[in-house]
Amino acid sequence: MKIIAVENYQEMSKAAAQFIINQVKEKPQSVLGLATGGTVLGTYEKVIEDYQQNKTSYKQVHSVNLDEYIGVEATHPNSYHYYMMEHLFAHIDIERDHIHIPNGLAKNTEEECRNYEGVIEELGGVDLQLLGIGVNGHIGFNEPGTSFDSVTHVVKLTESTRDANKRYFNRLEDVPTHAITMGISTIMKSKNILLLVSGKKKAEILAQVMNGEIDEKVPASILNTHPNVTIIADKDALAFVGGKKKRCFEDDKKELSGPNLFSVRTIY
């Protein structure tokens, strides 16, 4: 895994946006796997800023989102459909019929999951998957204990995840109990993965992912086995990462421009 260590949330967001922009410039018809949550908000802001200033076009891009709550209308402010329109899609030139998000209101959710998996395959797979991480190590809504072989499926959210996400709702009781999520093997099929981690709250889990065992109890630990994972993390999130696994390659700095990096490390 390649680690890009940055000062703070702002720098992480800038670096992540640049990563996405580079991907789209290199391959204008890229399939982008997108995430929701607080971590990626700054990245979307920077992507929009670049779109407005530099006119990077998303006309040929297709997007597939990681997950969606079950039972929440697409027009509801807490749905991930709404989040994506509000924070990204309404502000760039992506074609509406190129946007794919699981339908949390599907009558037959199992069928919806199979169809969603089919959509990703038909698109030729994800070129770049953007990920955040839950405090319990979840990626997408794949909670601890989810099989590494899982494909898109319905998940019962853990209390820890519902509690972490209650900040977006009025009350804990309003946080949905179930969601549809890409599976771990679906995520792992992506050609490139970009994981963003920011803040002290994520320091413990990031250290576990980077220095701990690869175990289904920590869903994100599987990323250690993917050939093309980049983690952009800030100082606070990297606070507990250490140990002999860490090696520093000055050369990696040459690949990057823009953000104010304080070090770039390759971990293996």
Ligand X SMILES: O=P(O)(O)OC[C@H]1O[C@](O)(CO)[C@@H](O)[C@@H]1O
> At closest approach, how far in Å is the CB of 153 from ligand X?
15
Q: How many residues does the chain have?
A: 268
Where residue 8 falls (left for φ over 0; alpha for ψ -120 to 50; beta otherwise) is beta
CB-wise, 61 or 175, nearer to ligand X? Answer: 175
Taking every pair of C-alpha atoms in the chain, what is the biggest distance, in angstroms? 53
**Of the candidates 6, 32, 124, 148, which has an alpha carbon nearest to the alpha carbon of residue 84?**
32
> Between 104 and 132, whose beta carbon lies closer to ligand X?
132
Cβ 66 to ligand X shortest distance, Å? 6
Residues lying near ligand X in the complex (CB under 6 A) are found at 35-39, 132-134, 141, 161, 165
Helices (H), 55-174: 80-87, 109-122, 159-165
With beta carbons less than 8 A apart as the criterion, state whether 193 and 228 touch. Answer: yes
In terms of CB distance, is 33 or 37 closer to ligand X? Answer: 37
Gyration radius (Cα) of the chain, Å: 17
| Sign of the alpha-carbon dihedral angle for 130, 268, 189, 125 | positive
d(CA 53, CA 3): 28
> C-beta of 229: minimal distance to ligand X in Å?
15
- Contact predicate 91/156, CB 8 Å: no
Q: Which sign, positive or negative, has the C-alpha torsion 46, 128, 193, 167?
A: positive
Q: Which residues are catalytic?
A: 67, 136, 138, 143
Which CB sits closer to ligand X, 56 or 203?
A: 203
Q: Which two tokens stand for residue 151?
A: 């494909």
CB of 200 to ligand X, least distance (A): 12
Minimum distance of ligand X from residue 1's CB (angstroms)? 17
Q: What six digits make up the tokens of 237?
A: 């999130």
Provide the token pair at 250: 């000055």
